[in-house]
Every structure is written in structure tokens, then in C-alpha cells.
Chain A
Amino acid sequence: MSDLAIAPVLVPLLAGVLLLLLRKGTLRWRRGLGLLSVVVQVLLALALLDATLDGAILIHALGNWPAPFGIILVADRLAAWMLLITALLALFALWHACQGLDVQGRHFHVLFQLQLFGLNGAFLTGDLFNLFVFFEVLLLASYGLVLHGGGPARTLAGLHYVVINLAGSALFLIAAGLFYGLFGTLNLAHLALLMAQTPEANLGPARTAVLLLFGVFALKAALLPLHLWLPATYGRASAPVAALFAIMTKVGAYAILRVATLMLGDAAPGFAGLYQDWLLPLALATLVAGMVGALGARRLTDQAAYLVIASVGTLLIAFGLGGRDAIAAGLYYLPHSTFAAAALFLLSDRIAQGRGALGDRFEPAPDIPAAPLVGALFFLCAVLLAGLPPLSGFIGKFLLLRAALAHPAWPWVLGIVLTSGLLGILALARSGSLLFFRAAAVPGVAAVGAGPVTLGPAIGLLMLALLLTFGAGTWLEVTTAIADQLLEPGLYIQAVLGEG
């Protein structure tokens, strides 16, 4: 029983409720409270990572009901790692929002905290139905955030996003119902235990349920046939929201990894490899689709959105390959891609402001203010996202490709990852040269200042990516430890269900 495991869920919930009460208070108080809550979440995530790195799995049983009867929260290494990435990302996204975007609509800070509540809960919960509930919480908050700022384009993108996610929720509930009907439990650890002894007659419906669940997670992660909602939504959302959403696709990837390692491991022969067969080819296709989309994008935020799809593809290739080294490489790539994509969203907001009426469309425009600094940051971002040496994108891809050599499909993985890297370089070189080198005077386009202060959040995110680069050895040890723990699902099951 650990209170540390529930704190990351309670802090944003309390902050959100308090912010709702502070509605008429001054803006400074609301911003301060929001930032304070996020800072506390960063510290909590660090404490959790510190507590779990020695192999401990912290359990919080809500209402003190023992599993599998009660609802439990489980903090293992993977959960702590995801919480840390989320909290750090949220810190910089909120900082960016506090520079003026948060007043464009009502309740921004409340929704932001509730979004974090849903995200943290989804990472910590050890119960399938609660995973659904936390998904709904984070989606409901995200519906509000997508619409933040208003405008017809945003409303239309928001409508599509809401409808497809509601359809996904219906599928999730059907899968949960199937699981309960077949196994009589919704606790993930208990399910894993019971699925290992599935009777022959139940194997068909059980496999259906597992694949339905895969469909839902693939929708959240924007895996290939289900990725079409993402560019419109992310490309139209306001910059801090899009930056925070960089973690949303990773929730789907996290859920796939969790279910695949916990429930579909070697212990359950009827289900072994059920995800892997689909995951690798679809992830490779997703990577290509993302990079081709980035090449064809006409606006910088659209390009950033397609690069998010490409990074999901890379991440899921790692999870699809399976095995200790590939998962460790994927978990190293995850924070890198999240921070770099978020930084690009924040930068593109500044670039769009600097170009006035032209926004972030790929058309020649007059020099933006502080172009050398913004350009340098964009270059750094591009190097990170295209996976060029010497930064963390290259390290992540190198680790991934090295792990892929052990897999029978390695020629496909190597070929596609390297080719799509080239596509990424082309796409980013095109947009960078157009935005920064082909300056031309356009009548009626006024430039807006963008000094170092307003670039702070983007710089901060890039610093985090540099931290990943320079501390690569340490972080790889951490992610390898996470992978080790994931590949021993017995530890998780024992921690949740006790010795018995």
C-alpha cells in the first residue's frame, strides 16, 4: 500500500477543481496554481521513478479493497517513466500557454489539469475498466482543449476527433464486456493469470476481445489505417495543446505495450504474439505514411502532425519487434520524439506569429524577427526529428536498428526506417529553407516580435532532448531496466495479487 502511487492522480484533480473555483480570481493566481501543480507532478514522478527503479512495484488499493475485487493503482518502472515524460512535457506546454494563449478561451487551465488527471490515471491504473474511464477523462478534457481558441476550422477538426473517439470508446466497452463475460474479472493482473488457462472453447471470443482492444489502442496511437484523424486535429489545435497532445498518441502505444507484455506473453500460448503479427507491418506502414505526409504538408503545423505519426510508427516498430533491446530502444525513443515534436509545435506557433497573416504556410514571406535564433532552434528540432547524428534521434534509431537485427524481418525494418529517415530530412530541409532562406517582401504582412523570453518553452524542450543525448548511457540503463521488468509479467501479477 503506497500513497505515492495515487498522488500523481490526485494532484491534478485537486488543482483542476481549485482552478474551477478560482474562475473569477486573477489570471496570475490561476497560472501560478496550474504551474505549481505541474511542478509538483514532476517532483512526484521523479520520486516514483526513484522508488521503483530498484524493482519495487508500488500498489495503492482504493478504499483498501484487495485486488482483484477492488480497483487498484499500480506504479511500476514503466508507469513512473511515462509519468515523468508527461509531467515534463506539460510543464513546458503550460509555460508556453501562460504567455497569452490561455486567455483565448475559458477554462483552459481547468481542462489542462483534467487532461493530466486522465493521462496520469491511464498510466497508473491496473484495471481494464478504469483504463476506459481514464481514457474518457483525458478525451473529454482534450475535446475542450482542441476547441480552445475557437474558429470554424478548429470546430470541424474537433467534431471529427470527437466522433471517431466516441466510436473507439464503444469498441473499448465491447472488448471490456467480452473480457468480463469470459473471465469474470477486469483486473489486468488477474486477467493475465486467467488468460493463461483459457479453455479451448473460449479461445475464439477471447482472441476477438484482445484484437478489439488492439483496435482501440491503435486508434489512440494513430496506427496506419486509423491515423487519418490526427493531422487535422493536431494541425488545427493551438500550439500548447498540440504540444501536450504529443503524449496522447503515446498513451495508445503504452497500452499496447502493457497489454502485449502482461497478458499476451509466453505464459498464455493461445494469445502469444497476437499483437506482434499485426503491429510490425502496420507500424512500418505508419512510419512511411507519416513521412510522406510530412513531405506533402503545406503548413508547418501539419508537417509537425505528420511527424508525430511517423514517430508513433517508429515507436511501435520497436514494440512490435519485442524483446528486451527493442523495447528498451523504444522507451528511449519515446521521450525524445515527444519532446522534439512538442518543441516543433511550439516553435511553429512563434514562426506563425512572426509571419503575420501568412501564418505557418509554406510560402515566401519577409524575414521573421530573431530569425537566426528561431532558425537555429528549428534546425536543432529538424536534426532531432529526422534522426541525424549526433543527437538523441540518431541514438534512438541506432538502438532500434541494432535490436532489429535479431528479428527475421530485419531487412524490411532497416530498409524502411532508413528510407523514411531520408524522407524526413527532405521534408524538413524543404520547410526550413522555405521559412528561413527564401525571404521576400510581401505587402501588408507585419512581423511580430519573438524574443528569447517567448521562445523559452521550446528551448526548454530542446534542452531536455539534449539531456537525453548527453546522458544516453544512463537513460538507456533505465529503459533497459523497464524492459526487463516488463518481460517478467510474473512480478507485476505477484505484486498486485499478493503471494497467494
Chain B
Amino acid sequence: MEAIISLLVGVLTSCGVYLLLRAQTFSVVLGLTLLSYAVNLFLFASGRLVVGRPPVIGLGPSGYADPLPQALVLTAIVIGFAMTAFVILLALKTRAELGTDQVDGEAGHE
């Protein structure tokens, strides 16, 4: 499972960075979204990956899954969601005001 998660984080991050460096605002927003997914998965894994354990302190001998990263991820998701919504609106505003979706505001090259 560790291998899958790390592979997933790696692929999401590299796709996110690639898209972030594109010249169109839509790709940039998509890149930011992928990056935030990668970060959320990574944060989740920082509490160590366990399967079938209670999410908070249980009475059984099996121990429990670390609840703190889950709380962190939840906060990060909420903030990331708000930011994505904001940046989409901003991208639309740029498109409307400048008449182009190029991030440097100058139409005519890609």
C-alpha cells in the first residue's frame, strides 16, 4: 500500500507541477487542484498507513489510526476548496477583462 500511495502522490505532484507551468489559466487551475490532492494524500500518509483500525482511541488491543492527520487533511481540504473556487472566479474575471486566458494577459501565442 505504501508503494501505491507514494506513486500516487508522485504522479499527482508531477502532473500538478506540469499543468501549473502551462500558459493558460484553466491548466493552471487544474494543476493547483491536482497539487492540492497530492498534498492531501501526503498529509494523510504522515500519520502512517494502517488498515482496519478505529479512527479514534479504541479499547481493543489493536491500537488506533492517528486522528490528527485526518483533522489536518480536513482543514487543508476546506482551505483548498475555497482557494480553488476563488482562483476559478479570478481566472474568469481575467478572461472577461483581458479577453484572453493566457496567464501573462497577452493573446496570440501558445
Contact = CB atoms under 8 A, between A and B. Distances in A.
A151 B36 CA distance: 29
Given A140-B82, A166-B83, A133 B43 contact: no
Interface in A411-460: none
Interface string A221-239: 0000000000000000000
A159 B16 CA distance: 17
Contacts of B93: 155
B54 interface: no
Nearest to A137: B79
B97 A152 contact: yes
Interface in A147-170: 147, 151-152, 155-156, 158-160, 162-163, 166-167, 169-170
Nearest to A165: B83
A129 interface: yes
B98 A152 contact: yes
A170 B36 contact: yes
Contacts of A136: 79, 83
Interface string B27-41: 010001001101100
A158 B90 contact: yes
B86 A140 contact: yes
A442 to B, nearest CB: 28
Nearest to A163: B28
A177 B9 CA distance: 13
Contacts of A170: 16, 32, 35-36, 38-39
Interface in A166-214: 166-167, 169-170, 173-174, 176-178, 180-181
A380 B81 CA distance: 46
A143 interface: yes
B6 interface: no
Nearest to A172: B39
A173 to B, nearest CB: 5
A176 B90 contact: no
B50 interface: no
A160 B103 contact: yes
B26 interface: no
B42 A177 contact: yes
A158 B39 CA distance: 24
Contacts of B79: 133, 136, 169
Contacts of A156: 94, 98, 104-105
Contacts of A181: 45-48
Contacts of A147: 90
The secondary-structure label for the interface of chain A is: helix
B76 interface: yes
B43 to A, nearest CB: 4
A180 B72 contact: yes
Given A136-B79, A180-B72, A152 B39 contact: no
Nearest to A181: B46
Contacts, number: 83
Contact of A163 (B32, B39, B76): B32
A133 B28 CA distance: 23
Contact of A174 (B39, B94, B98): B39
B15 interface: no
A187 B56 CA distance: 21
B23 interface: no
Given A176-B43, A177-B42, A178-B46, A159 B35 contact: no
A133 B69 CA distance: 15
Contact of B87 (A151, A163, A174): A163
A176 B72 contact: yes
Nearest to A151: B97
A173 B32 contact: no
B86 to A, nearest CB: 6
Contacts of B94: 155-156, 159
Contact of B25 (A129, A133, A140, A159): A159
A180 B47 contact: yes
B20 interface: yes
12 contacts: A133-B79, A143-B86, A152-B98, A162-B86, A162-B90, A163-B20, A167-B20, A167-B32, A173-B42, A174-B42, A180-B43, A181-B45
3 pairs of A and B residues whose beta carbons are closest in the complex: A181-B46, A177-B46, A177-B43
Given A140-B83, A176-B72, 9 more contacts: A136-B79, A152-B97, A152-B98, A155-B98, A159-B87, A162-B86, A169-B83, A173-B43, A174-B42
Interface of A: 129, 133, 136, 140, 143, 147, 151-152, 155-156, 158-160, 162-163, 166-167, 169-170, 173-174, 176-178, 180-181
